[in-house]
Amino acid sequence: GIQVEQSPPDLILQEGANSTLRCNFSDSVNNLQWFHQNPWGQLINLFYIPSGTKQNGRLSATTVATERYSLLYISSSQTTDSGVYFCAVGLSGGYQKVTFGTGTKLQVIP
Amino acid sequence: DAEITQSPRHKITETGRQVTLACHQTWNHNNMFWYRQDLGHGLRLIHYSYGVHDTNKGEVSDGYSVSRSNTEDLPLTLESAASSQTSVYFCASSESQSPRPGQYFGPGTRLTVT
């Protein structure tokens, strides 16, 4: 099956700093999603981004499908950004099953 | 507001018992998924359904079953609970023809098998 690797596994940031999280995948995909799991366990869909670039406030994501990676940018980080960020990929369209990476655990300290 | 709910939120059961975890969504989504989350493994797909009466096995389906009798519900059954099934279980849904592609998750159920 498709392999998904995320880096770094852990990240500690000072509030206000910027960061880049990376997701590498082993096969061509038609479906790539980024999720944030907050410290209470809730999973929030951040982006559906099989290719190109999207922005939502302080977060943006870029997927270069031909090179099999995606990047999640967090600017001006806040303590509420803490949690685990997951990348999930699939071979089919945006509504179908995906494979999750093991995540990047982010801690933003005041 | 439309949502996806899971019940119970926490459950403790004994080895060998049958357990059913409920998942209910009010988005009228065609597609529903069950995952388990364990430390070091991220989320792994157990079963999924692309519509009423459709069910499919995921990567870790042994010991689990699902049935889809309506659009709103996809209950997950552990036929004979084992300690290895202690985990946090998440349900998710998605819609085939949606302006918002991607999966949307319930709050999770923490299951402990003693």
Flag whether pLDDT at B98 surpasses 80: no
Question: Does B104 touch chain A if contact means CB atoms closer than 8 Å?
Answer: yes
Conformational region of residue B24, where left means phi above 0, alpha means psi within -120 to 50, and beta covers everything else = beta
pLDDT mean across residues, chain A: 94
At A25, is the secondary structure helix, strand, or coil?
strand
What is the pLDDT, as a whole number, of residue B1?
65
Nearest CA in chain B to A103: B42
Question: Does B20 touch chain A if contact means CB atoms closer than 8 Å?
Answer: no
Question: Does B55 touch chain A if contact means CB atoms closer than 8 Å?
Answer: no
Confidence of residue A96 (pLDDT cuts 50, 70, 90): confident
Nearest CA in chain A to B29: A95
User: CB of A105 within 8 A of CB of A9?
Assistant: yes
Question: Does A100 touch chain B if contact means CB atoms closer than 8 Å?
Answer: yes
Nearest CA in chain A to B40: A102
